[in-house]
Every structure is written in structure tokens, then in C-alpha cells.
Amino acid sequence: MILSILAHTPIPRDLPLPLPLPEGLLKALLVVFFLVHILFVNLTVGGSILVAIFEGLGFRKRRYDLLALEIAKTVTVNKSLAVVMGIGPLLCINLVYTVEWYGANALTGHAWLLIIPLITLAFLLAYLHKYTWHRWESGGWKIGHWAIVLASTLLFLCIPFVFLANINLMLFPSEWEKVKGFFSSLRIGNVFPRYLHFLLASVALSGLAGAGWFWKATVVEKIPGFRRDELRRMFYRVAMWATGLQFIAGPILLFTLPGVGVTPLLYKIILPSAALGLCLWYALWKKVKGSDGNLSTGFFPIVCFFSVVVLGMGSGRHAYREAALASHQSQVRERSEDYQKQLEAWNTAHPEDAESDAETPEQLFATCAACHAPDQRLVGPSLKEIAVIYAGNPDGIVTWATAPGKKRPDYPPMPAFAHLGEEKLRTIADYILATAPK
Ligand code: HEC
């Protein structure tokens, strides 16, 4: 098993540099930073989907249009936070999984770079959508306005997909040889179930956020036509449905995970989290089905519940990655240590080389090679010609190169190489006489 992995897996050396923080701490930070980042990504993506749906409903019922506008105002804020908060996990992942992260980046390079224009475009469209709301509210413009949010939502759906494919690819170094760019990377691991899981989480979280945001009297008063409890119930319902569907998406994700990272620890983390998720679903269901009076309380405990479930899932995700990469990381570590040992052994055996950075005759001759080729005229005459003139007289070459004269009328003058010193020039001269074609 290990052997077959070895045969097909690029195992490079790692950089022999110390980490700025203990590795365990960096990994904990990675999990926490990632969850903060993905929270805002979820809110951006889920919020964008809700805006697109509500604005669509708004063609028939004005109040949905107003609701869509209020959500649209939060999308642009959340997307900025998502980007800023993305720096933390990127830095940590670079430090802790340097080699694996690099591998996935290199293999999906084009799509990875494409993220920059895609994000830029998505942002511009999101702002255009928000700021043209009132101007393009009526008549034929309205459809155009809706088209903008559909386009930006589509982009907001593509960007995490590229990220996810990359993060997924990083987990399976033994598959890297098969990957030829982004699209072929989609066949590795289980990109699509992961993406489905991510989408449902985005909608669930946006539903929960809506239940909190649209409870605020100052926000609700901007949406005449909706009552506060009505809004909260609706958003709880969104969260409930999306959470419920996770009980289909979650098992699909778990059972399509390639075996390399599946460990008892993973189940020990995921199963209790899923059980808590079930309780969360039940709590949401109670809110949706309960009386209006019931709606004013219980939001905060639900948020706490949700956070615990998310933390569990995030930790499970990390446990999978650790297990999936354990073999590759230890092989990289071994290779790095081997290399360090070889280097030390070489230095002990060749103390003179270790100290001086001695150049080989060939390297020294490189100084002359720009103008002198073995068999043909370049800027200066060929080595063949030189070897005829200086046969058995390397010192003659040294004398010439130290202070060249002007000899051939159809050649430019040669610069002096006195600064190389007699010893090096002698090495070069011997090299020229030994290697020049006869
Ligand atoms: C920038 C180009 C250039 C470089 C670099 C250069 N040479 Fe020359 N070399 C020439 C030219 C031009 C001539 C012909 C000069 C003339 O005949 O007046 C020449 C001629 C020579 C000759 C022939 C002298 C003779 O008696 O006919 C020798 C030997 C020589 N170079 C050695 C060297 C060595 C050794 C180096 C590297 C340390 C070197 N050259 C680097 C341009 C260069």
C-alpha cells in the first residue's frame, strides 16, 4: 500500500525552516479561523440565494421585493468580511500543509487564478445591484435588475466551488498524477457531495441569521406588509428545511469520502455532532410549528446549539484531513530529514568544499562562453582556433586574458579578466586546451 503510494506520489522535501508558532497551535488556529471565514462565506452565498428568490417573488408581491433589498444590504457587508477573514486560514494552511497545499494550487492553477476576476466581478455586480435598486425598480428595468442578482449569485456559487475543489485535491496526493487541470480534479475525492453540504449549510445559516436580523424593529419597519413574528417564522422555516436536508447530504458526504482519512476518531466527532444537529432541527421545527408567542424567546440557545454543531463538523473535517495526509506528511518529513543527513555527511567528508564555494572549471569557463564557442566564431574566435595558437602554453592564455591586446582587425577588442586572478584563469586555460575540438 505504502509502496504503491510511493510509486505514484510526488514526495518533495519540505523547507528546513522553523514554524513561527507550535504546530498544534497553528492547527487549532486553522480550524477556528476557517470557521469564522466560512461563516461569512455561508452568509454571502446563502444571502445571495435568498435575495434572488425573494426578488423573483417580488414581481408578484411588493413586500418580498422590500425584503430582498434588506437582505441585499447585508450581502455586501458579509462578502467583505468573508474575504478579509479568509486571510487567516490561508496563512495557516500555507504553514502547516505547505507541500500539499502547493501541490493542489499548482495543479488547478488556472481556475485558482480565475478566482480573482470572478470575485471582482461578483463584488461589482453585488454593489451595482444594491445601488440601482430604486432607480431600476419599475417597468422593464426590473427584469434587468433581477438578472444582475442572478448573475452575481451564480458567481458567488462558482467561487466556493473552485476553492472547495482545491482544498479537496490537496487531501489526496496519491491522485495528483492523474490530474490535468481544474476539471479533471473534480473526479478526485468527493467534490460534489462536499459542495452540496456547503450549500445547505449556507442556506441554513442565512435562515438563522434572518430570524435574528428581521426581529429588529428598526429593520422590520422598512418592510411594511410583513409582521415581525411572521418573518421570524419564515426564516426559521428556511433554516429548518436546509438543516433537515443535511440529513440526506451529510451521510452522502460521509459515505463517499475516500477511505484514506476515515478513522474511528472521525465517527466519534461526526456522529455526536449529527445527533446534536437532529436536536437543533427539532428545536427549529418547534419554533416553526409553535404559537406566535413562542417566537420571541429561544433564539440565543438555538444559535449556541448551531455553533456547537458547526464546531463539531469543522473539527471532524480537520480530523479527516489529518488522517488523509498522515502518510504523505511523514514521507515528506522523512525525505527532508534524509536530505539534511546527506548534506551533513557530504560536508564532513568534503570540508574544503563546504567552506569555500569552489567552482568547477566548467563553471569558471562560463564567464568566457558568451563569446567563445567550441567550433565556431561568436564575438571572439573559436576554442579550436585558440587551442591551435596556445597548444602546450596555457600560461599564454592567462597572460592574454589578464591584458588582452588588439589582434584581429575584424573582431572587437576583448575585455580584460585580470580580476579573476591567475589561479582561476589558469584553470580556465587548462579547461580550454583540454576540451577544445581538435
Ligand atoms: C565579451 C566577449 C569576450 C569574452 C567574455 C571573452 N573574450 Fe576572449 N576574445 C574576445 C574577442 C573579441 C577576441 C578577439 C580579439 C582580437 O583578436 O583582437 C578574443 C580573443 C581571445 C583569445 C585569443 C587571443 C589570441 O592570441 O589570438 C583568447 C585566448 C581568449 N580570447 C581567451 C578568453 C578567455 C580565457 C576568456 C574568459 C576568461 C575570454 N576570452 C572571454 C571576446 C571575448
Rounded Cα–Cα distance for residues 354 and 359 (Å): 12
What average pLDDT does the chain have? 91
**Which residue in this structure is represented by grid cell 478566482?**
115
Arithmetic mean of pLDDT, 216-237: 93
Which range among 112-126, 353-367, 382-396 shows the weakest confidence by mean pLDDT? 353-367
> In the chain, what percentage of residues exceed pLDDT 90?
72
Over range 96-101, report the average pLDDT.
91
Measured in whole angstroms, the distance separating CA 320 from the mean position of its chain's CA atoms is 18
Q: How does pLDDT run across 115-174, given as a tens digit for each residue?
A: 999 999 999 999 999 898 888 877 778 888 999 999 999 999 999 999 999 999 999 998
C-alpha cell at 147: 438578472
Q: Is residue 418 in contact with ligand 1, taking CB distance under 6 Å?
A: no
Going by alpha carbons, the residue nearest to atom 39 of ligand 1 is 368
C-alpha 396 – ligand 1 centre gap (Å): 12
Q: Is the CB of 367 under 6 A from ligand 1?
A: yes
User: Tens of pLDDT along 285-296?
Assistant: 999 998 988 898
Choosing from 414, 417, 426 the residue with most ligand 1 atoms within 8 A of its CB, the one to mutate for a pocket test is 414
397 C-beta closer than 6 A to ligand 1: yes
Residue 356: pLDDT above 70?
no
Does ligand 1 have an atom closer than 6 angstroms to the CB of 414? Answer: yes
Q: Which amino acid is at 101?
A: W
pLDDT at 5: 47
Q: What is the mean pLDDT of residues 248-258?
A: 94
Kindly give the distance from the C-alpha atom of residue 356 to the centroid of ligand 1, in angstroms, as a whole number.
28
The CB of 373 under 6 Å from ligand 1? The reply is no
Residue nearest to atom 13 of ligand 1 (CA): 380
Residue closest to 365 by CA, chosen among 301, 417, 318, 304: 417
Cα distances from 162 to residues 87, 192, 327, 370, 436, in angstroms, run 17, 11, 26, 46, 56
